[in-house]
Structure 1
Amino acid sequence: MDYLPLFADLRQRPVLVVGGGDVAARKILLLQRAGAKVRVVARHLCPELQQQVDSATLHWLGEVFSVGMLDGVFLVIAATNDAELNAEVSAAADRRQMLANVVDDQPKCSFIFPSIVDRSPIVVAISSGGNAPVLARMLREKLESLLPASIGAMAQIAGAWRERVKQRISSINGRRRFWERALNGRFAALVARGQIDAAETALQDELTAPAEQAGDVALVGAGPGDAGLLTLRALQLMQQADVVLYDYLVSDDVLDLVRRDAERICVGKRAGGHCMPQHDINQLLIAHARKGQRVVRLKGGDPFIFGRGGEELQAVAAAGLAFQVVPGVTAAAGATAYAGIPLTHRDHAQSVTFITGHGRSDGETLNWPALAAGRQTLAIYMGVLKAAQISRQLIQHGRAPQTPVAVISRGTCADQQVFTGTLEHLDQLAQRAPTPALLVIGDVVTLHDEIAWFGSQYAAAHQCASLVNLA
């Protein structure tokens, strides 16, 4: 081990920074977040530091460094572009047995700054000992995505409750088991939802009369296919789940990110082919949560946009179970973005309407006259089977037969395909497209040839358009 990792208490301790540029400003900001009383010496100050000096939040000692400035200082940082001055600061600190850091000059450092994941009071520091700072930064980014933002609040509450728990539970093992239950159970779930008062009530209940662990349900949007479009919160819950109920529309790349030992149940919802009735899915969510399990209901796209997520949560709420919702990138936003088709554009469309082609059998008909109006984009989910009817109704109610249309198949996935043409030939285009597919109707489709960027069609957008355009 080349460096001993330490966490220093800098609150109200004086720290000297030699240098006044942008690099020095970044170090000073970090020191101030740790509560240090920063002193700076520099010939010139960047605007950010000058503003701090003017507002008396930073003490500027002067333009020229002198050894006496180290008197009473806890540690020192040299952040100038003058190698000789940096070496002088390092040597002076070394003679005084004082910790010093010279930015980007490891041999002259007696301490180095790690990459930091800050979830105060939880702080994770990563260092490569100066050998591979980019690798350390990449590891930090991975940890940032895995550690929930609520973990700091959990730690603060736990700190406030430590003495109470110690008085109530005398044994070390008993306290450890208590905190393991709390930090993996209802208390943690409530903190994550921002319900701090309820979280503390749950902690008190667990301390007073430990009950059988209650489970909960997280309704999570998996996005349109590309696993890179998952939200951080979705990834965190997928990694914590005991059981995951997922649909056909959830891509294999997304499913690969589920915790390895979680139970996976395919409930098979897709347009025109449900292998499990909606009522049975609702009851399955409830049954697993009542067993004390952390349940993730993983749905393609966004669960509240044509995903029946609201219906499922109504059932969960009626059962008295805790739940939360993590929105996802809906297919209309994701697929069109990857196809180079903006949903709105000031030259082509001032509004966008999301429509499902698979509504309730007893539902009211769509407002075709309103949908046929120009200068708007229609994004139609689950519309392949009714493409002929959609085309016919729109044309009958005034939409021009030559209106540009696109059928985006398996949007955002590696095998995404985009078929373009005109409204009068929408049905033929839809029949060519592998499912799942999104129908897009409106003048914005013409921008596909210009700004398509994703996959093989980026290089062949014009060729693809000419091959499938049936106008």
Structure 2
Amino acid sequence: MMHSLALFHRIAGSRVVVVGEGTAAEAKRRLIERAGGICCSEAEAHQARLAFVAVADGEKPHIIAHRLKQRGLLVNVADRPELCDFTLPSILERDPVIIAVSTGGASAGLAKHLRLRLEALLPVSLGKLAQALAAARDNIRTRWPASDDRRAALDEALSEGGPLDPLKDHGDDVVDRWINSSHQTSAAERIELLIVSDDPDDLTIKQVRLLGRADRIVYEASVTPEILARARADATQSVLGNEQPDERDSTGLTLILRRS
């Protein structure tokens, strides 16, 4: 089970309460301003929905957090995860791409170093690729009118070694060249995976990638929820033998999970 629901909250033009002084409080203010928010004091809490408390004085953080929560704000308290309604991840930005790494407050240092590893993997051009895909949205819909075909085409193009591989540097016209190429989307696939363990950490890299790509998951009842949780969040799931006719005949990738 996830410890938190991961969300990206738009705060541009909104007031955000920051209580405290010193390095920690200033870091929160810089982050809020970077996201377009307006830092304010507790006196203006009636105009805010979020609050950050960076006070290290004994029980004072608890008192301030309780007071702000009573006023309906979601509160983050520096170095006190037990008092937090939300936590701040370590952020990697390739505008408009934002990747957030969170440990739920367990270790900010670990989140930071995971982010630094990812920094070395992701090219600077990743943001331009995202912007090009957004600009080409209408052309992509015209080329692949059916949503399943469109998803399959994007999955294939963005996969490792594909024409839009996000871990490679690309020219400015890469998306247009992909749309206008003669390449055709692969036909519907049905792939069987043999699951040998109830532990998702025992999945192979290939199995994890397939779970992340699949449009539909059909599984034996003995496959555990922990394994199914590694599937794409919007993939349809059904127990083997209970699929609907449109699931068996549809396009895209269907994974059949069997337990050994």
Same fold (TM over 0.5): yes
Larger RCO: Structure 1 or Structure 2 (Cα < 8 Å, ≥ 6 residues apart)? 2
TM-score by length of 1: 0.35
Report how many aligned residue pairs link the two structures.
Answer: 183
2:37 paired residue number? 36
In the alignment, structure 2 segments of 5+ residues that lack a partner are 185-204, 207-260
Relative to structure 1, the CA distance from residue 185 to residue 4 in structure 2 (aligned partners, 3 Å threshold; closer, same or farther) is closer
2:25 paired residue number? 24
1:2 paired residue number? 3
In the alignment, the residues of structure 1 paired with residue 176 and residue 31 of structure 2 have an alpha-carbon distance, to the nearest angstrom, of 36
Relative to structure 1, the CA distance from residue 28 to residue 210 in structure 2 (aligned partners, 3 Å threshold; closer, same or farther) is farther
Give the percent of matched residue pairs that are identical in Structure 1 and Structure 2: 31
2:108 paired residue number? 133
**Contact 1:154 1:188 (8 Å CA) reproduced:** no
In the alignment, the residues of structure 2 paired with residue 185 and residue 91 of structure 1 have an alpha-carbon distance, to the nearest angstrom, of 51
Matched, 1:210 2:182: yes
Shift of 1:143: 1.9
Matches within 5 A, 1:6-405: 6-39=7-40, 41=41, 65=42, 68-183=43-158, 184-186=161-163, 192=169, 195-196=171-172, 198-199=173-174, 203-211=175-183
Q: Which amino acid aligns with 1:172?
A: S
Q: Which amino acid aligns with 1:139?
A: L
Shift of 1:9: 1.2
Shift of 1:154: 0.9
Residues 133-179 of structure 1: CA deviation (Å, up to 9, x unaligned) = 32222222222222222222211111121122113311123212332
Relative to structure 1, the CA distance from residue 99 to residue 37 in structure 2 (aligned partners, 3 Å threshold; closer, same or farther) is same
In the alignment, the residues of structure 1 paired with residue 30 and residue 83 of structure 2 have an alpha-carbon distance, to the nearest angstrom, of 22
RMSD: 2.8
**Contact 2:143 2:179 (8 Å CA) reproduced:** yes
Shift of 1:185: 4.3
Q: Which amino acid aligns with 1:114?
A: P
TM-score by length of 2: 0.61
In the alignment, structure 1 segments of 5+ residues that lack a partner are 42-64, 213-259, 262-471
Shift of 1:70: 1.0
In the alignment, the residues of structure 2 paired with residue 74 and residue 97 of structure 1 have an alpha-carbon distance, to the nearest angstrom, of 7
Residues 113-146 of structure 1: CA deviation (Å, up to 9, x unaligned) = 1122222322222222222332222222222222
Q: Which amino acid aligns with 1:29?
A: R
In the alignment, the residues of structure 2 paired with residue 158 and residue 75 of structure 1 have an alpha-carbon distance, to the nearest angstrom, of 32
For the pair shown, which has the larger CA radius of gyration, 1 or 2? 1
